[in-house]
Amino acid sequence: MDQPNILLGRIDNRLVHGQVGVSWTNYLGANLIVVADDEVAHEEVQQELMELTAVTSGAEIRFFTVQETIDIIWNASDDQRIFIVTRTPFEMLKLIEGNVPIKKVNIGNMHFEEGKHQISLKVFVDDEDLKNLHAMQDKGIEVFIQEIPGKMAEQFK
């Protein structure tokens, strides 16, 4: 295998829910969802809830820390069509800097928190988020905002 077949990276602070586990997975034709999140990698209850969503799309789902994802992604088999999901831009950038070959990053949901400002209907960012998203673009990654397939994508600027 030349490299793992990563279809898309998505930033979504809810990780895997209906939009990710069904809509995006089916749209992409993914057969494996990789959740790269240091907290969820050790939380069985959260994993079980996400597994229930993923199974409706027919995809398998795996939960790893960000570092575990970096360490094992190159062991993916040729037939795996991978959809990677992280909670924040920081985690996605760590994957990219760790040589995970992600070419496109979709910003889905980043909810309001104190200190964040709105850049799209469901995307709120702070200076750190913006720095990390621009760093991805500086590495040649296509970064766009799109809640669900079928809605108009906005290029992140």
Q: ∠ CA(74), CA(75), CA(80), 5° rounding?
A: 95
- At 3, is the secondary structure helix, strand, or coil? coil
Cβ-based burial of 155 (10 A; exposed 0-12, middle 13-18, buried ≥19)? exposed
Element at 40 (helix H, strand E): none
Amino acid symbol at 82: I
Cβ atoms 11, 122 nearer than 8 A: no
Q: What spatial distance separates the first Cα and last Cα of the chain, rounded to whole Å?
A: 34
How is 48-116 classified by DSSP, letter by letter? Answer: HHHHHHHHTTT-EEEEE-HHHHHHHGGG--TT-EEEEEESSHHHHHHHHHTT----EEEEEEB---TT-
Q: 117 catalytic, yes or no?
A: no
Among the listed residues 17, 111, 117, 134, the single catalytic one is 17
Question: Residues with catalytic annotation?
Answer: 17
